[in-house]
Amino acid sequence: MQPQPIVILGGGGFIGSNLARRYVEMGREVIAVDQAFPDFRREALAGAGLAVRDLRVQPQVASVMFPGALVFHLAADMGGVGYFHSEADWPASLNNARITLNVAEAAGRAGVDRLVYASSACACATEPATDWTADDYGYYGNRLLHESDLYWGTPDARYGQEKRNGAHLFTSAPYDARVAILHTVYGPLQEHEGVRMKFPAAVATKALAARETGRLEVWGDGTQTRSYLYVDDAVDRLVALAEADVNPGPIMVGAEGSVSCDEIAHLCLELAGVPDAEVVHVDGPTGVAARDCDLTRWREVFGEPHQTSYRDGFAAFVEWLDSLGEVAP
């Protein structure tokens, strides 16, 4: 019996291209689907079939759905926190709603074997609840996010609501659809310029530029904390979730032990060889104060996950960015 084909929607993106490379290395047939495939990700996609599609258009989605396929829905119109505080926010929301509805419908009609949907920690409510106890809090005194946080309160941004709606939609699908609640992922092949750049790439590129400028700007006061997951670890967990015999329900996919923006900034400056450069706090959108990750459910289902240290992960990321030779002050 031939192994099922792997269809990666958003396969030209950051996580998608890394996931495609992993499955190609595993000897699987991979079809990466996206509107475009950036040159800097082309090498990672070697060995995968590339299908250019506009997933906002239902017939184009249907054309890449196959009976028995394993589908990863990683496609989204997204960017960093600045992107979702810009005029792009509403059009992006419409795009994401159309894409997810198209995928949900086409997957069911095609009879795919199973589907993995990339939701987000942004989908989880973060406001305090009266029944929280000390055991619910992490290293910084910030509450750890649980899978149950998909079902109460209100996400802090429109993108989070989209990702919550998608999680609910696929959780109730009449086929095997699995939901990964992804925390911030970083590493090689990440978008590293423009408004779609997220904080890990922004701070790493600024650290390299600090070789000339002597400074690195951080939006806000630098105390915001996040759970940052290295991309190889994220791919490990997405594969584990997809290949598991049993659907565990929505599950957290993140790093344990959050760090502040200032800590990441200073680490990246050290890795860039300019540890004495100044970290400067400036006005700008920062998102919520904290998003930390509880991996209790993951351990119950899959055991202890491998987690790349922040130092090792950001060292690999900074080295990759430096190798591009594109960073300008």
Q: What is the pLDDT of residues 269-288, one digit of tens each?
A: 999 999 999 999 999 877 77
Rounded distance between C-alpha atoms, residue 148 and residue 146, angstroms: 5
Residue 25 lies in a domain: yes
| pLDDT digit string, tens, across residues 134-158 | 455 444 445 688 898 888 777 777 7
Which of 52-56, 150-154, 290-294, 320-324 is predicted with the least confidence, judged by mean pLDDT?
150-154
pTM: 0.92
The full DSSP string for 44-59 is GGTTSEEEE--TTSHH
How much is the mean pLDDT over the chain? Answer: 89
Helices 310-324 & 261-271 angle (0-180, nearest 10): 60
Q: How many domains does the chain have?
A: 1
Residue 329 lies in a domain: no
The stretch 22-47 carries a mean pLDDT of 97
The pLDDT confidence band at residue 196, using thresholds 50, 70 and 90, is confident
161 versus 142: the higher-pLDDT residue is 161
Give the CATH number for residue 270: 3.40.50.720
Residue 157 lies in a domain: yes
Residue-range definition of the domain harbouring residue 17: 6-324
Q: Provide the pLDDT for residue 212.
A: 96
Cα torsion through 19, 25, 31, 33, rounded to 10: 30
Residue 228 lies in a domain: yes
The stretch 85-90 carries a mean pLDDT of 63
Strands 259-260 and 225-226: antiparallel
Residue 1 lies in a domain: no
Residue 279 lies in a domain: yes
